[in-house]
Amino acid sequence: MRIGYGYDSHAFKPGVPLKIGGVAIEHPEGLAGHSDGDVLLHAITDALFGAVAVGDIGTFFPPNDARWKNADSAVFLRVAMEEIEAAGYRIANVDTTLVLMQPKISPIAETIRERVADLLKIAPGCVGIKAKTPEGLNQDGVAVAHAIVLLETLDKAEGLEVLAASVPTEEHIDTVLKKIGTEAFGTPAGARALPRKPPFDTEDIT
C-alpha cells in the first residue's frame, strides 16, 4: 500500500467561473488559476502523483505552459491515474477537506462526492468530502484543499492463489445467503432488503 498527500490553494476572483471537484457552482466569484482553478481536483491530483513519487502537478503541467490555460482539471486527474496504474496500483479510498468561507459546501457535498468518485472510477463510499471555515485565519478570500489517497496493489500470483482458494461450494453460498437474510440460494437479488448504513448526511459538514 502507498499513501499520498496533496494540498492546493487558490484566491477567489470576480468574473471567473467557480468549479470545485469537477462541479460547476453558482457563485459571484471563481478561483483564479492558470487552468480552471479547481482546488479540490488539484489537491487530489498531487496526492496521486505523490503516492507513486513521480513529482507534482507542476512537474506534469507547468503553469507557464499555454497548453494548460483554462484547462479542465479532470485532464490532470486522468494523467495522475494513468501514472498510478502504470506503477501497478489502484485507488482504495480518498479523503479530502476543503477550507473556505463561501460558498457553503454542505448543500452540494454529495454532488461533488459523486463527481469525484466518477472521475476516479471508484465507489462514492470511497470518497470523503469535508468542509471547514477558516475561522480567525483571515483567509476569507481563499479556498484551500487537502487530500489524502490510499493506493493498494495485489501481486498477480497471490491474487490467483486467493481466487482459487476462495471459490465457494453451493452449500457454502447457501449458508452465507441465509445469514445475510435471503431465503435460499438462487433467490433474485433484492428480494429482501439488507441492512444498510444511513445515507450520506451533508448536514454534518460545516
Do residues 149 and 165 both lie within one domain? Answer: no
Written as one letter, the residue type at 149 is V
Question: Are residues 75 and 42 in contact, defined by beta-carbon separation less than 8 angstroms?
Answer: no
Q: What is the pLDDT along the chain (206 residues), one digit of tens a residue?
A: 999 999 999 998 898 899 999 999 999 888 888 888 899 999 999 999 999 999 998 888 888 888 888 788 999 999 999 999 999 999 999 999 999 999 999 999 999 999 999 999 999 999 999 999 987 777 788 999 999 999 998 565 444 443 444 444 455 445 544 544 544 334 444 333 333 344 444 454 44
**Number of domains present in the structure of the chain:** 2
Q: Which structural domain range is residue 78 located in? A: 2-153
Do residues 51 and 80 both lie within one domain? Answer: yes
Specify the pTM. 0.72
Q: End of a domain among 132, 153, 174?
A: 153
CATH code for the domain in which residue 58 is found? 3.30.1330.50
Do residues 85 and 132 both lie within one domain? Answer: yes
pLDDT of 161 reads: 44
